[in-house]
Amino acid sequence: MRIRPGIELGSLTDVGCQRENNEDAFTYWEPESDDQFLRKGRLAVIADGMGGYEGGQEASRLAVDTVLETYQQAPDGDPQTALIASLKTAHERIREYAESHPQLYGMGTTCTAMALSQDALYYAHVGDSRLYLVRGDHLDRLTKDHSYVGRLVESGVLSAQEAEGHPQRHILTAALGAGTDVLPDFPEHPVHIEVGDSVLLCTDGLWSMLTEDELQKAVQSHSPAEACRELVQLAKDRGGPDNITLQIIRLTRNGRN
């Protein structure tokens, strides 16, 4: 895998302490062509499957592979449009796969995909995996959870702090492969990023076990690879009931795209 100067990258996935299989999936990609790289930038994708071992594992793999393939083949132009189209294509492929494999009925997956191009961050998102931006001592969650508890927060019934420990926080209201249509969340405008910023993609096996303050401190005080190891170990030290997957990308001072 080629990684051009301009970033530091850390990625890690772990089955956790209580699961026998890992139903998470992730990827990172840059175009081989420098010319195409200028137009498409860097792509990172993370997914957390559901629907039993085989169904969840297949759903997350299909999501990541399809988003990568669709983004690679998208016409050069707007990364945001390509990300949204990629998630919609993945949704349809998972539905088609479930229809041809009735034993996997109910399979689905979260999916969060981001593209980093020049000083702009684009993303598309379905489910409760998360994308954070870390700048200095501040952590900003860019995505909202498509979950029952997330709806309670939006309606003002629960505070964001109360939601983090709610027993029903894992009940999803949207996932790739679930329902007829899917409407990914995406930013109205690209998110501006600066040298020194880090972005964190992670599944709920990580964020549900740690505070946002702990996430911010680990990302800011370590290299991306070291932060990945420390955060996974923290989640496992607290029981690690779910699979744990994360990617950290830090924009460095030796150039952007």
257/118 Cα distance (integer angstroms): 5
Domain assignment of residue 142, yes or no: no
Report if residue 215 sits inside a domain. yes
110 belongs to a structural domain = yes
- With respect to residue 146, please indicate whether it lies within any of the assigned structural domains: no
Spatial distance between the Cα atoms of 8 and 223, rounded to a whole number of angstroms: 8
Position 107 in a domain:
yes
Q: For residue 159, tell me if it sits in a domain.
A: no
3-class state of residue 43 by DSSP = strand
How crowded is residue 83: how many other Cβ atoms within 10 Å of its Cβ?
26
How would residue 167 be classed by pLDDT, with cut points 50, 70 and 90? Answer: low
Mean pLDDT of 114-133: 96
- CATH number for the domain spanning 60: value is 3.60.40.10
In a domain, 60, yes or no: yes
Domain span at residue 89 reads 7-137+174-251
Model confidence at 256: pLDDT above 50: no
Residue 257 scores a pLDDT above 50: no
- Where residue 161 falls among pLDDT bands split at 50, 70, 90? low
Q: Is the pTM of this model over 0.75?
A: yes
E-state strands within 94-253? 108-109, 111-117, 120-126, 130-135, 138-141, 191-192, 198-202, 244-251
Query: pLDDT tens across 195-251, in order?
Result: 999 999 999 999 999 999 999 999 999 999 999 999 999 999 999 999 999 999 999
Residue 169 lies in a domain: no
As for how many domains the chain has, the answer is 1
Q: Does residue 58 have a pLDDT over 90?
A: yes
